[in-house]
Amino acid sequence: AVALGKAAWHAGMAYDDAMDTIAISTGATGDELAALGEDFSAVFTSIPIDAETASGVISELNRTLGVSGDTLVDIARPLAEASRMMGTDATASAQGFAQAMNAWKVDAADAPATLDALFVATQKSGVGFDELLTNLSTFGPALQTMGFSLTESTALLAELEKAGMPATNAMTALQFAAKTFTKDGVPLQERARVTPEAAL
């Protein structure tokens, strides 16, 4: 009985701490905070992660993408689970994903499907998930200027890393080429289209 009482006390403290984290990070109060508490519980009780990790992921995604409810849970759950299996920082992955989505102006409703596509790209290419997210955010503006879509850019960056060519080096060359094309009056978007099937 004493052991169960201590476990319940620690669980209650963990939940309170998690809700404090969510409230401070998102600025949510009242009904909005209560709803995020339900999202937290849906993630925390479905996969073996600690409350701090779950609250961090929930807070980051809500704060940067503005998502909540089923959409938030559908993103947070696989992100937290993947990070657990890979031994990476789930909150950092959530931040990287949100930054990439914002850089590419992905609608919140499309974020879960986009996350699935990114996971597939990392599995097929072997490139790290967080590394891919960083590259998509860093080189997103240049790739969009060249006319690449998010799907094409994901395939291109993943394939470059798979081939052993650092994305930074490749993008430096592409950006130089883009400047040359612009100087010579060559439209940047007149190029062969890259497809995920061809690249991966």
Cα separation, 36 vs 55, whole angstroms: 9
Instruction: Give the pLDDT confidence of 16-41 residue by residue, as tens digits.
Output: 899 999 999 999 999 999 999 999 99
The predicted structure's pLDDT at residue 163: 85
- The vertex-149 CA angle with 145 and 151, nearest 5°, equals 150
The predicted structure's pLDDT at residue 189: 59
Cα separation, 160 vs 171, whole angstroms: 10
The predicted structure's pLDDT at residue 198: 45
C-alpha closest to that of 33 among 68, 72, 57, 78 = 68
The predicted structure's pLDDT at residue 182: 66
Q: Tell me which residues of the chain have a pLDDT lower than 70.
A: 1-13, 181-200
The predicted structure's pLDDT at residue 31: 96
